[in-house]
Structure 1
Amino acid sequence: MRLQGCVVVDARSDDKAVDLVVDLDGTLIATDLLWESTFQLLKKNLLYIFLLPVWALKGRGCLKHQISLRVAVDPATLPYRAEFVAYLREEHAKGRRLVLATGAAHRFAQSIADYLGFFDAVYATDESRNLTSQKTKFLLETFAGTKFAYAGNSKADVPVFDAASEVVVVAPDRAAAKWQRVNSARLFEAPKTDLKTFVKMLRVHQWMKNTLIFVPAILDHDIMRWQIVIEAVIAFFAFSFAASAIYIVNDLFDLPLDRQHARKRNRAFASGALPISFGLKMAVLLLALAGLLAAQLNWIFGAVLLVYLISTTAYSLSLKRMLLIDVLTLAGLYTLRILAGSAANEIEGSFWLLAFSSFFFLSLALVKRYVELQNTALVEKNRIAGRGYRQADREVVAQCGVSSAFAAALVLALYVNSDAVVSLYSYPWMIWPLCPIVLYLNIRIWILAHRGEMHDDPVVFIISDWRSQIVIAIGAVLLLYGGMRS
């Protein structure tokens, strides 16, 4: 069981014999099962989006019940609040009766209660009743004539706090925190989220991939013109905001898979550090900002950005699970960034550049899959979770990746020897060292991957590795100064 830590702020303990009623979403676990299960349902089949409003019109109880019939929640991977769970275990060991009362679907609540093993009763939403809106009335009827204690976290729990004889406030929102301060109830405080958590949610380090937008202007020797620079910068931030929005949505679709991953389980939404509702609001805001920026450029750039959004969404929902289609899509997404740069600056696209980009980034995408296969212990015929690859595929993936690296270098060599280079550079021979530079970057990554020393994102590795930075700097000097016409 993976637990999310909390800090006990008020250590006061009232050893009362009354039953302790515990809320689920946000209290026992640092997530919202309705949002999680909805994303799982849509990932299973996007057409369910048309049924969701129909179920909702019949009531939230019907909505939650229908979703629970079609998806399952793995209680072993959920982000539990560690200190609070430890407290409940202690109370249970003392003989105190614990009750789980939640607005989540009954199937989900029961599976969690069975997993934890210390709840004596479960009250949850069913097809005809949404316990979220009826919890206070239900508990007063259930405990008629007797006292009960209650543990909750949100504004919706405040009326229950008022009705309970003892209150435990866990990771409270603003309304629950205000109630706690006034009434001095016991408090389990959630870990504070800092700027680093927010930056990781946006994947700001991945924005470096969008510097490919500047490549067409650099190779066309127009990067020194202010108008070109301004347009490229606008395109860069439009793509970056759009990419961050897609990363957030992708994380929400991949919550169950991320929690099974040694590193990804620490992501903001998988760990429960940030609420899903916040992620949705941020994704909408980022897409709006990307749209406003795109509107400042020509319609072709907007069309490329739209294709990027559709492609990345399709990749998140389906294509990432398809053998080879996933890596071809990833390579295509990198090439789309170059096309976006051409569109933003109204520079004619280069066949050579697109061909080189396709092979170069296909090699890096195959590295990513190779590392995943290397780091995942699988039975021979089993696939990586959420992927289309088996352990038996590892050597073939490596062969394809190394071949793509050499193909990229070959395309570059043919380009250097073409008439296009003669028209752009006074000294074409100074561009030839780019071929061994490209081979060095790519083959070194494959050797490190084979040794088990590669970060699972090779693009991030190139950006952060000092040897790669030096080699890239040398190539940039040769390209921009050594071979440029005076």
Structure 2
Amino acid sequence: MTETAPLTSAAHTRQAALHEQRTPPRGAAPPPRPRGPRTLLKGLVKTARPKQWVKNILVIAAPAAAGRLFSAHALTQLAVVFTLFTACAAAVYLINDARDAEADRAHPTKRHRPVAAGQVPVPVAYAVGGALAVLAPAAAAWLTSPAVAALLAAYIGMQLAYCVSLKHVLVVDLVVVTTGFLMRAMVGGLALGIPLSRWFLITTGFGALFMVSAKRYSEAVQMAGKAGATRALLTEYTTGYLRFVWQLAAGVAVLGYCLWALEEGGVPHTSVLPWRQLSVVAFILAILRYAVFADRGTAGEPEEVVLRDRALALIGVVWLAMYGLAVANW
């Protein structure tokens, strides 16, 4: 009995040591995943944020507003522009995740991102992101127009500057994210040579600012009194200021849309009703409905808000129908 006790204790010590080696400490980065061509490709696609690609549908905004959406040439050009803008956004995501890999490994959620988790090596993320950042504008110059190529290059430069430093600058971070949405809405018109109305730009820009600031406000409300905000600037913004921003942006967006509808919405003789002017009602209802979620502090990603709320989705469909009838002169 006296000889077996030390042996048993030593065995327990070895077993405990093995268990500690196999179990990573809480908050540590997950072990590197096995790498293979298929695993690497999946990691690259995941890093490109496919859920965010729906935002690039905004490239059809200007052609749709001008009634030049349904032609073979327009659809082809818009498909090319959508793909190239998606490639530019993917380039930014890849470079951003490669740059923040070390910090992401200490984050409870971001540590599972492919680059931080080791599924995509940091040099590969930099290489693929850099290649996309160069090739997308070059392809745009060849397949569309120099104006589109210049806009895509400006988008990449602005977003990379945001990742490096601008996201830490008060107000400027809101402007950069808003400008990204505005560029999406502009690029389709540039690809098809459509003149962009000043009211279209004002409505789109301040509508985007409304959604961006509402999202920031919601994050600030949800993180109030909690440590470790998801965005560093949330600790510097006050909820009162962010509420002021989204309310101001909503008002300017509504005013811009009203002036746009009245300026370009003369009633054609073939129209049954002044659909363009009537669409103002649906637009204002959509703003008011979205503001409900902003006021509650539950306005997250814009696409999620729209898809989650049936009433808002229905208002959006009614607005699209009215505007479509206006464009078709019915």
> Could you tell me whether the CA contact under 8 Å between 1:245 and 1:282 is conserved in 2?
yes
- Whole-angstrom CA distance in 2 between matches of 1:460 and 1:401: 18
Structure-2 change in CA distance of 1:238 and 1:171 (3 Å): closer
CA shift for structure 1 position 390: 2.9
- Answering whether residue 314 of structure 2 is matched by residue 442 of structure 1, we say no
Pick the aligned partner of 1:310 from 157, 163, 179: 157
Pick the aligned partner of 2:130 from 280, 284, 305: 284
Per-residue CA deviation, residues 225-259 of structure 1 (Å, 9 max, x unaligned), is 21122111111111111111111212223345545
1:353-372 correspondence runs (5 A): 353-372=200-219
- Whole-angstrom CA distance in 2 between matches of 1:256 and 1:273: 14
Matching residue of 1:328:
175
Structure-2 change in CA distance of 1:332 and 1:399 (3 Å): same
Q: Which moved more, 1:252-261 or 1:439-448?
A: 252-261
1:388-427 correspondence runs (5 A): 388-390=233-235, 393-418=238-263, 420-422=264-266, 426=271
Matching residue of 1:348:
195
- Whole-angstrom CA distance in 2 between matches of 1:296 and 1:483: 28
**How many residues matched?**
314
- Whole-angstrom CA distance in 2 between matches of 1:433 and 1:257: 50
Matching residue of 1:234:
80
Pick the aligned partner of 2:306 from 458, 462, 465: 462
Pick the aligned partner of 1:79 from 29, 38, 53: 29
Q: Compare the two structures and name the one with the higher helix fraction.
A: 2
CA shift for structure 1 position 364: 0.8
- Whole-angstrom CA distance in 1 between matches of 2:258 and 2:272: 15
For structure 2, list consecutive stretches of 5 or more residues without a partner in the other structure. Answer: 1-12
CA shift for structure 1 position 392: 6.4
> Could you tell me whether the CA contact under 8 Å between 1:207 and 1:240 is conserved in 2?
yes
1:40-119 correspondence runs (5 A): 77-81=27-31
Q: Compare the two structures and name the one with the higher strand fraction.
A: 1
Letter in 2 for 1:247: Y
Per-residue CA deviation, residues 153-200 of structure 1 (Å, 9 max, x unaligned), is xxxxxxxxxxxxxxxxx85557xxxxxxxxxxxxxxxxx959875543
- Answering whether residue 220 of structure 2 is matched by residue 270 of structure 1, we say no
> Could you tell me whether the CA contact under 8 Å between 1:430 and 1:482 is conserved in 2?
yes
- TM-score normalised over the length of structure 1: 0.56
Indicate the RMSD between aligned Cα atoms, in angstroms.
Answer: 3.7
- Whole-angstrom CA distance in 1 between matches of 2:184 and 2:284: 22
Letter in 1 for 2:191: A
Counterpart of 2:194 in 1: which secondary structure?
Answer: coil
Counterpart of 2:274 in 1: which secondary structure?
Answer: helix
Structure-2 change in CA distance of 1:431 and 1:280 (3 Å): same
- Whole-angstrom CA distance in 2 between matches of 1:463 and 1:252: 31
- Whole-angstrom CA distance in 1 between matches of 2:57 and 2:125: 25
> Could you tell me whether the CA contact under 8 Å between 1:416 and 1:432 is conserved in 2?
yes
Per-residue CA deviation, residues 56-106 of structure 1 (Å, 9 max, x unaligned), is xxxxxxxxxxxxxxxxxxx9754143xxxxxxxxxxxxxxxxxxxxxxxxx
Structure-2 change in CA distance of 1:400 and 1:377 (3 Å): closer
> Could you tell me whether the CA contact under 8 Å between 2:220 and 2:239 is conserved in 1?
yes
- Whole-angstrom CA distance in 1 between matches of 2:236 and 2:165: 21
CA shift for structure 1 position 352: 0.9
> Could you tell me whether the CA contact under 8 Å between 1:216 and 1:342 is conserved in 2?
yes
Structure number, greater radius of gyration: 1
For structure 1, list consecutive stretches of 5 or more residues without a partner in the other structure. Answer: 1-14, 21-26, 30-74, 82-169, 175-191
Letter in 1 for 2:29: P
Counterpart of 2:232 in 1: which secondary structure?
Answer: coil
CA shift for structure 1 position 219: 1.2
**RCO comparison, higher one (Cα < 8 Å, 6+):** 2
Matching residue of 2:90:
244
- Whole-angstrom CA distance in 2 between matches of 1:257 and 1:211: 32
Matching residue of 2:9:
none
CA shift for structure 1 position 361: 0.5
Pick the aligned partner of 1:221 from 67, 70, 76: 67
> Could you tell me whether the CA contact under 8 Å between 1:205 and 1:460 is conserved in 2?
no
Structure-2 change in CA distance of 1:402 and 1:261 (3 Å): farther
